[in-house]
């Protein structure tokens, strides 16, 4: 049986759906090359938000579930890793990444130009008043 690796792809709210889907597919192809023998499923933030946010009702609840949640049926993590494609991120994405890093869940930065992956070491605050881009991914 092939092991499944579930990946959360953090996109900005309001991102162009076509562009996000294209990047999601590129991330999946790149991960398949890095994880031979694994079944890789990449879920975009917009999809997860549409399917799960109402269940939690708060940004904080949803953020924590993305980063640390487990599936009810098998108690395995909802996501095994988090991937982001923007260095400048908003408050929600920053919180998801910080929660994941706290539990040592892999967080990766996907460099779009070269289709390369870099480990994220942390998230720094640039301007906490800028909810859409006030945090920066540190690799």
Sequence spans of domains, the chain: 3-138
At 30 the pLDDT is 95
Is CATH 3.30.420 the right assignment for the domain spanning 3-138? no
Instruction: Identify the DSSP state of 32.
Output: H
Coil, helix or strand at residue 94:
helix
71/103 Cα distance (integer angstroms): 17
pLDDT in tens, the chain (139 residues): 668 999 999 987 777 777 888 899 999 999 999 999 999 999 999 899 999 999 988 999 999 999 999 999 999 999 999 999 999 999 999 999 999 999 999 999 999 888 899 999 999 999 999 999 999 999 9
β-strand pairing of 3-10 with 81-84: parallel
Tokens of 115: 């289709």
Strand order in the sheet with 38-44: 38-44, 3-10, 81-84, 107-111, 116-119
61/111 Cα distance (integer angstroms): 29
Tokens of 139: 């690799």
At 136 the pLDDT is 97
Residues 102 and 92 sit within 8 Å (Cβ to Cβ): no
pTM: 0.93
CA angle 133, 61, 78 (to 5 degrees): 95
Phi and psi (nearest 5°) for 39? Answer: -90, 120
Tokens of 26: 């590129």
């Amino acid at each position: 049986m092939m092991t499944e690796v579930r990946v959360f792809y953090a996109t900005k709210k309001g991102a162009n759906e076509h562009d996000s889907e294209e990047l999601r597919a590129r991330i999946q192809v790149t991960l398949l090359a890095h994880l031979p023998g694994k079944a890789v499923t990449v879920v975009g933030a917009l999809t997860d938000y549409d399917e799960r946010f109402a269940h939690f009702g708060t940004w904080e609840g949803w953020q924590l579930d993305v980063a640390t949640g487990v599936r009810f049926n098998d108690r395995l993590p909802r996501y095994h890793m988090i991937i982001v494609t923007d260095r400048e991120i908003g408050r929600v994405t920053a919180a998801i990444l910080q929660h994941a890093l706290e539990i040592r869940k892999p967080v990766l930065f996907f460099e779009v130009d070269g289709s390369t992956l870099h480990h994220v070491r942390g998230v720094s605050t640039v301007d906490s008043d800028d909810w859409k881009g006030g945090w920066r991914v540190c690799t």
